[in-house]
């Protein structure tokens, strides 16, 4: 079965529309996905910075209030005479402020852990150049995971505890094998640098959230692509149907029917212009046909009169 020219036109128009719109839409979608992923990653990072700065300010305020209310001396807040806690492995240490911190600070730190992205939230005191001690908690309990009151010499922790810039962003490889972002902000107590408040952001969980957003965008993009294809074929079908109507009218005129149809071509596009031009042509042809019929009738009458005159002349001629 051969495809009619109109059907081919319909398919060609649809393919042309799809070939133009769909690649442009896919290109725009790819760009938008890339921009949204970067924006989401940036938003998560900025949120981590805000959380770290908020935690640092809250920690400093807690210690300042303790000093003001004389529950702690400033020398106790900055105590570095660490006393080993018996029976702990890895070794933990007491300070003159850790009981107060356990009572007031860890409540704040624990509230951060309700967020799936945050793995740890700790206050890290800068001790000496090569060490720092952490007071905080993690999402998972147990001796092997609780790093509270332990002394560390890792480079990321030292840099965070010593940092005095508004924030510090680092990639941190923990001894558990997990890689995460460490976002910290300096803690000040009565104007003195005490240490840092650190937020551990899970890269895996962050990527999961970004992937979820990307999947939703891709799903919406696929849906819109299908909708664009449907619209393309609808527009192509509408155009080809109007051309088909004009072709039908042309066939009717070709068979000698010059009567005007009820079709109305009121659109201002090329197809509408073609339809109106065709209607005007039919009107002109009908007028021309009317004039031709009238002329033929006059010729026929003249011919009849001529024949009758010839017959009368022949009858009047002598035999």
Least Cα distance to 147 among 134, 160, 157, 158 occurs for 134
| Contact between residue 100 and residue 71 where contact means Cβ atoms under 8 Å apart | yes
Which residue has tokens 């803690």? 187
Stated pTM of the model? 0.59
Peptide bond before 146: cis, by omega within 30 degrees of 0? no
Which residue has tokens 């990639």? 171
| Contact between residue 115 and residue 95 where contact means Cβ atoms under 8 Å apart | no
Q: What are the tens digits of pLDDT across the range 71-113?
A: 999 999 998 888 888 988 888 888 888 888 888 887 888 888 8
Best CATH choice for the domain 39-202 from the list 3.30.450.20, 3.40.50.2300, 1.20.58.220, 3.40.640.10: 3.30.450.20
Q: What are phi and psi of 167, to 5 degrees?
A: -160, 165
Compute the distance between CA of residue 187 and CA of residue 97 in angstroms, rounded to an integer: 15
Q: What are the tens digits of pLDDT across the range 152-193?
A: 788 888 899 899 999 999 988 877 777 888 999 999 999 999
Least Cα distance to 45 among 203, 161, 158 occurs for 203
Strand partners, 169: 183
80: phi > 0 → left, psi -120 to 50 → alpha, else beta; which? alpha
Compute the distance between CA of residue 252 and CA of residue 230 in angstroms, rounded to an integer: 32
Q: Which two tokens stand for residue 124?
A: 């890290």
Taking the domains of the chain in order of start, what are their residue ranges? 39-202, 258-313
- What is the pLDDT tens value at each position of the chain, 319 positions in all? 444 544 565 666 666 666 766 777 677 777 777 777 778 778 888 888 999 999 999 999 999 999 999 999 999 999 888 888 898 888 888 888 888 888 888 788 888 888 888 888 888 887 644 455 556 554 444 433 466 788 878 888 889 989 999 999 998 887 777 788 899 999 999 999 999 999 988 888 777 877 887 787 777 777 777 777 777 777 767 767 677 777 777 777 777 776 766 666 666 666 667 777 777 777 777 777 777 777 777 777 777 767 777 766 666 656 5
Vertex 162: Cα angle to 204 and 200 (nearest 5): 15
């Amino acid at each position: 079965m051969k495809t009619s020219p109109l059907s081919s036109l319909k398919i060609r128009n649809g393919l042309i529309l799809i070939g133009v719109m769909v690649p442009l839409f896919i290109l725009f979608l790819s760009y938008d996905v890339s921009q949204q992923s970067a924006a989401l990653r940036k938003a998560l990072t900025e949120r981590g910075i805000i959380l770290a700065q908020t935690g640092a300010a809250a920690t400093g305020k807690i210690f300042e209030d303790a000093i003001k209310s004389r529950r702690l001396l400033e020398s106790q807040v900055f105590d570095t005479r660490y006393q080993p806690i018996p029976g702990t492995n890895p070794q933990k240490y007491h300070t003159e402020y850790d009981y107060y911190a356990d009572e007031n600070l860890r409540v704040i730190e624990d509230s951060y852990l309700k967020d799936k992205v945050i793995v740890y939230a700790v206050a890290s005191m800068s001790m000496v150049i090569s060490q720092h001690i952490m007071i905080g908690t993690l999402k998972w309990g147990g001796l092997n995971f609780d790093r509270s009151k332990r002394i560390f010499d890792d480079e990321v922790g030292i840099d965070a505890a010593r940092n005095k810039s508004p924030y510090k962003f680092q990639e941190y490889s923990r001894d558990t094998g997990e890689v995460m972002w460490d976002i910290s902000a300096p803690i000040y107590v009565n104007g003195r640098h005490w240490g840092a408040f650190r937020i551990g952001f899970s890269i895996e969980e962050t990527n999961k959230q970004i992937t979820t957003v990307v999947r939703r965008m891709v799903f919406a993009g696929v849906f819109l692509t299908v909708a664009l294809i449907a619209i393309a074929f609808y527009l192509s079908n509408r155009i080809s149907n109007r051309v088909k109507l004009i072709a039908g009218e042309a066939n009717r005129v070709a068979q000698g029917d010059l009567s005007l149809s009820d079709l109305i071509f009121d659109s201002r596009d090329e197809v509408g212009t073609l339809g109106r031009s065709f209607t005007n042509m039919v009107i002109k042809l009908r007028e021309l046909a009317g004039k031709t019929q009238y002329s033929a009738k006059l010729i026929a009458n003249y011919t009849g009169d001529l024949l009758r005159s010839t017959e009368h002349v022949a009858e009047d001629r002598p035999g």
